[in-house]
Amino acid sequence: MKLITELFEDVQYIAEAKENGEKEHFIEGVFLQANRKNRNGRIYPLNIMEGEVNRYMNEVVKHNRGYGELGHPQGPQINLDRVSHIITELRRDGDNFVGKARLTDTPMGNIAKGLLKSGANLGVSSRGMGTLTPGKDGAMIVGPDFRLATAADIVADPSAPDAFVKGIMEGVEWVYDPVKDSWHEEKLDNMRKSMNKMTINQIEENKIAIFESYLTSLMSKK
């Protein structure tokens, strides 16, 4: 499974007053989109996207675990020390899924608030795992195993008004370990297992070959 991220620029900053007079700060906009070939050439079929959004809402958002981070995380895991907001809503609007997220009183949340109050142009980037298969006209179709890690991280570099998609870590395969409830890099994990069978001398003698093999495996998947 590949780590897939999607960038969306059109996000609004909202401040709402609570009953006690304090303000809550939100971002709102299109977080996800289906049935359209994006600039990275990927298409999310509506039935797959809608099914995963329903799962994400029921299993994650409704339990106040719809965390998002500030910046571009390098993997599918949620890093609690980088959480900047909690997703509170995600609803379908045609082929779009409009989301709303409350900014948290955390170090990263406060940074995001300060940037938005200063007029910074921030956007959101969804982060998910899934397999890709070739479709028509060079498009890559996201498969039914698609799973959201988060519907929205806050990012500073969205570059298109609607559904500009950019994949990161395209050459890295990740697998889910249900026992540890975590994702890990398949190639690195396999390499560690192989090295555990070697003596220290064998590892020393073969470390260059091991490293080159890893680089080759990544390049072959691009």
Residue 190 has pLDDT above 80, yes or no: no
Same domain, 114 and 64: yes
Same domain, 140 and 195: no
Residues 6+ apart with CB under 8 A from 160: 7, 9, 39
User: Does residue 177 lie in a domain region?
Assistant: no
pLDDT score of 72? 77
User: Does residue 175 lie in a domain region?
Assistant: no
Domain around 93: 2-170
Same domain, 203 and 98: no
Tell me whether residue 198 is exposed, middle or buried, using C-beta atoms within 10 angstroms of its C-beta: 0 to 12, 13 to 18, 19 or more.
Answer: middle
Q: Which of the two residues, 175 and 46, has the higher pLDDT score?
A: 46
Same domain, 67 and 31: yes
pLDDT score of 218? 44
192 confidence band (pLDDT: 50, 70, 90): low
Report yes or no: 158 and 164 within 8 Å, Cβ to Cβ: yes
Same domain, 106 and 202: no
Q: Pick from 5, 139, 136: which is nearest to 69 by CA?
A: 5
Q: Which of the two residues, 216 and 105, has the higher pLDDT score?
A: 105
177 confidence band (pLDDT: 50, 70, 90): low
The number of beta carbons lying within 10 Å of the beta carbon of residue 187 is 18
User: Does residue 86 lie in a domain region?
Assistant: yes
User: Does residue 207 lie in a domain region?
Assistant: yes
User: Does residue 176 lie in a domain region?
Assistant: no
Same domain, 200 and 99: no
Beta-strand (E) ranges in 115-208?
123-130, 132-134, 140-142, 147-155, 164-165, 174-177, 182-185
Same domain, 93 and 150: yes
Low-confidence winner among 46-60, 108-122, 131-145 (lowest mean pLDDT): 108-122
130 confidence band (pLDDT: 50, 70, 90): very high
Residue 152 has pLDDT above 80, yes or no: yes
User: Does residue 71 lie in a domain region?
Assistant: yes
Same domain, 90 and 192: no
Same domain, 118 and 62: yes
Same domain, 52 and 157: yes
189 confidence band (pLDDT: 50, 70, 90): low
- Count of structural domains, the chain: 2
Residue 99 has pLDDT above 60, yes or no: yes
Tell me whether residue 118 is exposed, middle or buried, using C-beta atoms within 10 angstroms of its C-beta: 0 to 12, 13 to 18, 19 or more.
Answer: exposed
Residue 171 has pLDDT above 50, yes or no: no
Same domain, 72 and 26: yes
Residue 169 has pLDDT above 90, yes or no: no
| Catalytic machinery residues | 72, 125
Same domain, 164 and 186: no
